[in-house]
Amino acid sequence: DGGITQSPKYLFRKEGQNVTLSCEQNLNHDAMYWYRQDPGQGLRLIYYSQIVNDFQKGDIAEGYSVSREKKESFPLTVTSAQKNPTAFYLCASSWTVNTEAFFGQGTRLTVV
Amino acid sequence: DAKTTQPPSMDCAEGRAANLPCNHSTISGNEYVYWYRQIHSQGPQYIIHGLKNNETNEMASLIITEDRKSSTLILPHATLRDTAVYYCIVKGSGANSKLTFGKGITLSVRP
């Protein structure tokens, strides 16, 4: 069953802790993305990767880090430096940055 | 800055066509118009995209005006499952071009 898998669906963490969100795709896509969505708002780009071992900052990268060691995986770490980490996080992938992107079902992170 | 303007909401009756408008008056010649939708608490779903010609697929039709300053997404026979937020996005084709989501338009399909 091909697609993009984000896990877990819901995640709770205490303030001050780093947390890593998982994103795996088996579509053989080169490009992968992380977005953040706050209630009633559109999606904002955190980081994207055009190819393995390469990634670029998006519009709101502060307080986040990523790695792209494997083509199929693009984990996002929300660090303690992120001031407002509670949000809905969405991962996406595409053949290239110039083709349509396909999204996972998201991880809802709550920091208390 | 948002490159597109969409009304905040609209509704239509089940079984009727839903016509969702989008203005993109500053679109450049190499920029595409993309449409995605997001059902509550799910990831966005790609619908369709086009450059200047009208496009149709199994989900919808995209009508782009001749001057490319506006477009309309048409869902030919709306169902209750089409209730969602629909995003109209203008995106270039360069390596640094990205999908930038605005607030979209909330479509409510009524029985």
Average pLDDT score over chain A: 94
User: Does the pLDDT value for residue B25 go beyond 80?
Assistant: yes
Instruction: Pick the more confident residue, B3 or A30.
Output: A30
Of A40, A103, A108, the CB nearest to B44: A103
B107 close to B11: Cβ distance less than 8 angstroms: yes
Under 8 Å CB pairs connecting chains A and B tally to 48
For an interface test with A, which of B30, B40, B57, B101 has the most A Cβ atoms less than 10 Å from its Cβ? Answer: B101
Which of these ranges, A15-29, B47-61, B91-105, has the smallest mean pLDDT?
B91-105
Please enumerate in sequence order all residues whose Cβ is within 8 A of that of A28, keeping only pairs 6 or more positions apart, or say none: A71
Q: Which helix (H) or strand (E) holds A50?
A: strand A43-51
Instruction: Output the pLDDT for position A1.
Output: 55
A108 close to A11: Cβ distance less than 8 angstroms: yes
Burial class (CB in 10 A: 0-12, 13-18, 19+), A93: buried
pLDDT tens, A21-62?
Answer: 999 999 999 999 999 999 888 899 999 999 999 999 999 999
Q: Average pLDDT, stretch B29-45?
A: 93
Give me the residues paired with residue B93 across strands. Answer: none
User: pLDDT grade, residue B97 (50/70/90)?
Assistant: confident
A-chain residues near B46 (CB < 8 A)? 100-102
Instruction: Output the pLDDT for position B92.
Output: 85
User: Does the pLDDT value for residue B2 go beyond 60?
Assistant: no
Of A44, A98, A101, the CB nearest to B93: A98
CB contact under 8 A, B43 and A100: no
Cα-based distances in Å from B88 to A39, B18, B76:
19, 15, 18
A-chain residues near B43 (CB < 8 A)? 4, 90, 92, 103-106
CB contact under 8 A, A98 and B97: yes
User: pLDDT grade, residue B29 (50/70/90)?
Assistant: confident
